[in-house]
Chain A
């Protein structure tokens, strides 16, 4: 295909990780982090479209108040399987296991992750966990909500809870192993000169994410293990009829599942911290503050879980403490947002697709984060807890934030991953369609929530219909916005314009090697002498760097 390339000067490297070995075995038994990232890309995309299908069913069903399309039990299965698929099989692995897996070794200047075979193992664990969950979906479905609240899930549900729980349990280990791999790699495999404060913020974000993965995931494994034992063997952990406590389940569940929100959003923040300096051609404003903010979010994020439980009857004092900590954890996010905006000032801004996603992220994450203030405020949570306000809020974070970050990163690194460019204008239009579709889908849900529409309703009072129709219309637009990148990115991987090593140009080490990179990443171990995003000390990027007269009084060549 190389012969058909339009750009005459640019050639794909003869040998890369993509063609060094061939055949299905060379992919399924690979220990190359880049190939494993692509295995994840294919499987995570598969789960994304499964979850997206469920979402579409939900929105179509809610077009009318009477619920014309699905039976109550089917509807309950749709929203449950949408949540389980998207949270555990799309959002949690998406950026870390695809972009993180591919980029972290390149960014720190290493040949691979610290434990390449464990990396492959984690993909297989993910697939086995996914298979169990898929089995649950086709063998009776799952109707507990993704939160698996007891005693409904352990006693009353007639759906295939056990295989689903086993699937999520298994997949957790994939997450733990990925986090472990990242931590060890970042600690021990940085190239000469790559000091901690020269690391790209994408790496810092994944460092923080890995801590959450390693410390949090075992707790959800234990929790779901206990739930499975209660369901299968009748052991009384959570069922009050057996002397258990249903609220204990919620404490254990949210002890993981709230930090899990940060597993989803921190990597996306990491992507944005790459995109904005790159496309503003300027150092990130307040690098140390942003790096520290990632760690602060990871740590404080472990201390806010009971804000999901203000109305369970927990003690008033506990509620006040958890509410306060919830407001504290909002501050590091505010720091990051201001840092991104400040970076724009004095920059040289271009509006390539990844930057459009970064802007989209900025706006949607802002709305998502700020609406968290409503839910964290105890007095307001009384009214909006378990309504569509919550649904809107977390979709603004998870879809508006995490998915925008993911797609922005995918476009940004697509030329590195495949060696070829995506079609720029088509991508810009798709980004715009996504942004519009997203807001039309989820903004009306804030209003619905404040008006009092509870979540997980298969029918609803007619006065809520107007906003539901808007939301469904938006979801249709959103669906187009998601299908388009899948189609043109796949096309571009084979037929796109050859990109060259560093098309943007960007400053990270991943751009110092070929696109697509060779299997060993770098032919010669790079030596780092510059800070992250330091366009001014990078003559290799061939940019017009203004020379400070005091430093270079007589300058001949440029």
Chain B
């Protein structure tokens, strides 16, 4: 199926073609300069080889035009490569709207992946072909990195924050993924397979497992188990802000700045509640660092996300003095 000495990995994502095109362009640039330097050196070595023991070379010691030329020409070629590369990168870092969001949690030495409906996988990832998929990735321990060579994408998975990675698979099939940031003993075993399926096949697969718990209801359950609901009252009269309609919007902070309530903000607010205090509230929330796993944070986030559609409390409700808040 494959040549015994392959040079390119399979192309199976929307950006792979452009990455390979830039790669080919830079290869040609390199070949040009290598051939130029080797040919000139070989010619000079032959033409100007020493004829007698006491011979010396000529007295030419520079040429301003040449020197300026070989400063500017490489600079211009470099700028072309830079700009092309930057264009690919900006596209890669800017996820399109309406992505299929899948959570990926890395831990020594496995990947846990969770589909939007809560179906979980270990070291396997199923995605539909032709759909923009965004991985929201966190780590339980050290830095990992999610790398799919056939898609030409990778992104570090850093503890303490979410990094995201988006791609659009273009060809059904099975492709390897790797952990490409060294993470300890079994770093090399921390990989698996991405299965790209037709949308119908994917939908069938997605609903094919019994016992899948919807992350929203799992999150709702946790929300009361951890007693989050005793302060974060929906009506805005609690000791903590209502979470209705918060996700995706702007939040005004005590220091006057605003922050977008995205996954990273919610995660941080659970683990380091005092990092960003909502305007009008006291820093009274305890940290949940060590009390919740990354996967539970994903469920809690899913629940908070689901509150997006709930109407936020009336204006002013959020700044009720904490002492009058109900228990």
Contact = CB atoms under 8 A, between A and B. Distances in A.
A284 B67 CA distance: 13
Nearest to B39: A341
A219 interface: no
Contacts of A281: 50, 55-57
B78 A327 contact: yes
Given A313-B158, A367-B34, A373-B26, A382 B92 contact: yes
A536 B289 CA distance: 75
Given A370-B33, A386-B145, A345 B44 contact: yes
Contacts of B30: 367, 370-371, 373
A313 B147 contact: no
Interface string A59-78: 00000000100001100100
Contact of B59 (A283, A320, A458): A283
Interface stretch (B2-10, B298-306, B311-319): B2-10
Interface stretch (B113-121, B177-185, B210-218, B236-244): B177-185
Majority-rule SS of B interface residues: mixed
A72 B180 contact: no
A23 interface: no
B296 interface: no
Interface in B63-92: 63, 66-67, 70-71, 74-75, 78-79, 81-82, 84-90, 92
Interface residues of B, number: 92
A324 B81 CA distance: 10
Contacts of B78: 327-328, 330-331, 373
A338 B66 CA distance: 9
A246 B160 contact: yes
B123 to A, nearest CB: 14
Interface stretch (A109-117, A145-153, A182-190, A493-501): A145-153
Contact of B61 (A157, A287, A316, A319): A287
A556 interface: no
B161 interface: yes
A460 interface: yes
B158 A379 contact: no
Interface string A443-480: 00001001110111111110100100000000000000
A349 B82 contact: no
Contacts of B74: 330-331, 334
Interface stretch (B126-134, B149-157, B201-209, B248-256): B149-157
A240 interface: yes
Nearest to B75: A331
A387 B176 CA distance: 14
Given A347-B57, A350-B50, A466-B4, A341 B37 contact: yes
7 contacts: A280-B57, A281-B50, A348-B49, A373-B78, A382-B92, A382-B154, A454-B179
Interface of A: 67, 72-73, 76, 143, 145, 149, 151-152, 155-157, 240-241, 243, 245-247, 280-289, 310-313, 316, 319-320, 323-324, 327-328, 330-331, 334-335, 337-339, 341-342, 344-351, 359, 362-363, 366-367, 370-371, 373-374, 376-383, 385-387, 447, 450-452, 454-461, 463, 466, 535-536, 542-546
Given A241-B160, A287-B61, A382-B92, 5 more contacts: A73-B185, A155-B142, A288-B62, A330-B78, A367-B34
